[in-house]
Amino acid sequence: MKILKINVTILLVTASLCTSVAAERIIDEEDALRFRLKNELRRADKPSAGNARHIYAWVQGGMVDVNSRYYEDIIGSEGGAYYVYKLGARNDMSTRWYLDGHDSFGLALGALKIKPTDKIKIKIGRFGTDYGYGSLPYNVPLIAGSSNRTLPVISEGALGYWAVNPNLDIWTMWRSRVFTAFDSETGIRNEGVYNVNTGYYDKRRARTFLAASWHDDMSRYSVGTSVQKDVSTQFQGQLEKRVSLGEGYGLKSELLGFYVKLDGASRSATSYNETPMISGRLSWIHPKGSIFASAGYLKHAISGTAVDTDIGYPFALSIDRNKEGMQAWQLGVNYSVTPQLSFTLAPFYTHGYESYQRNIKIIGLGVLGGVGYTVDSGALKGMNLFIAADRARENREGSALGDRLNYWDIKMNIQYDFILK
């Protein structure tokens, strides 16, 4: 049975979430040097962000990744140097985590790789854990991140992988420090308890992960858990299933379940400390693209400094999808005019509450659109360009932010990879 594949240039909704688009992955067993250039522009009006509602950032990212093969088939190394250079920003506007405040910033990473057997691999040090960037082969529950900013998610600690058989993988990780899409002002930061007075994670608490994934040519079923004293215990399950409907046609179903319970010093005395979240997406795939429908539900809003609950399939650049009792619904179409040029149109709807008291209702409506282009010849072959924009409105009767909030958001990304093997 033929495996169904979707041209990544038509998945602009997904591309808007990820740090990289249609990028070539470095193979772990090879010597490789990759140079990645990424130019990003973000301009938006997000009234729910209060004083930081006006957003403008224009940056140029430069990322160098180096990987070695396993010498004597036992030991190797990997490393990288990343820098985000400010091209444009305004002091009276937020840069929304694209910069260190309004300044350029950089990071470095490096790790030792050990392969005790052909089926077991271990990394120790500072390494990437962003599946959108290509750091991991697929979305490993909880271990994998997917940054929607210039730089990828980075972990510091130890990562283990065991290929039990050709269909079953076991993953584990111990992490003491981390860099996510929201850490541009701190760089690599401690894992632990967030201090609202200092703005730092002052109380260090390492986080431990365990995940398993079973797959065949048409399916993947994955589960994962993490434990972090004084922060949270989390569980996540993912299901992906494809069904062939003939040459170039098929159905793809995806389901995500998540549960978190805050622990110790991270628990709140005034709001909820645990929540489930569920989200799903169904796509009909055809030779020119896909038509999809997605939905998500979050029972309780949890502090974003302790856990990220904005992980469902419905996506918008502008309005919130992780508020109290929030439902999110989206219909969309991806259409590829040529193998290089594609378009996305995806209206969305949200329904929830502004706070845990549930006294102010949120009803949101908007539309996301995008266009992507891949250069397939000449000196710039492999360059990916996309621009996405959305327009949305929320009704929040009685809110201090206003009864009616109007949003607009534009994001541009130009990425080029050059790799030596």
Check if the beta carbon of residue 44 is closer than 8 Å to that of residue 58: no
Average pLDDT along the chain? 92
Identify any residues that bridge with 387 across adjacent strands, giving them in sequence order: 371, 412
pLDDT over 90 at 12, yes or no: no
Question: What mean pLDDT do residues 123-147 have?
Answer: 95
Q: Which residue from 173, 79, 64 is spatially nearest to 126, judged by alpha carbons?
A: 79
Check if the beta carbon of residue 189 is closer than 8 Å to that of residue 177: yes
Task: Spell out where 90-231 has E strands.
Answer: 105-117, 120-128, 154-165, 168-179, 189-190, 192-195, 200-204, 207-215, 219-228
> Cα separation of 151 and 19, whole Å?
6
pLDDT at residue 57, as a whole number: 98
The separation between CA 151 and the C-alpha centre of its own chain, rounded to angstroms, equals 11
pLDDT over 60 at 253, yes or no: yes
167-177 confidence digits (pLDDT tens): 999 999 999 99
Q: What percent of the chain has pLDDT over 70?
A: 94
49-100 confidence digits (pLDDT tens): 999 999 999 999 999 999 999 999 999 999 999 999 999 999 999 999 999 9
The DSSP line for 350-419 is EEEESSTT--SEEEEEEEEEEEEEE--SSTTTT-EEEEEEEEEEEE-TT-TT-SEEEEEEEEEEEEEEEE
- Both tokens of 137, joined, read 């082969």
Predicted confidence band of residue 8 (pLDDT cuts 50, 70, 90) = very low
R_g (Cα) of the chain, nearest Å: 21
pLDDT at residue 21, as a whole number: 54
Residue type, 212: A
pLDDT at residue 24, as a whole number: 67
SS3 content of the chain, % helix, strand, coil (to 5): 5, 60, 40
- Both tokens of 225, joined, read 């858990």
pLDDT over 50 at 346, yes or no: yes
Of 208 and 320, more confident: 208
Of 176 and 146, more confident: 176
Question: Domain 8-420, what fold?
Answer: Porin (2.40.160)
The tokens 């930061």 sit on which residue? 189
pTM of structure: 0.92
Identify any residues that bridge with 420 across adjacent strands, giving them in sequence order: 33
The tokens 């180096």 sit on which residue? 66
Burial class (CB in 10 A: 0-12, 13-18, 19+), 72: exposed
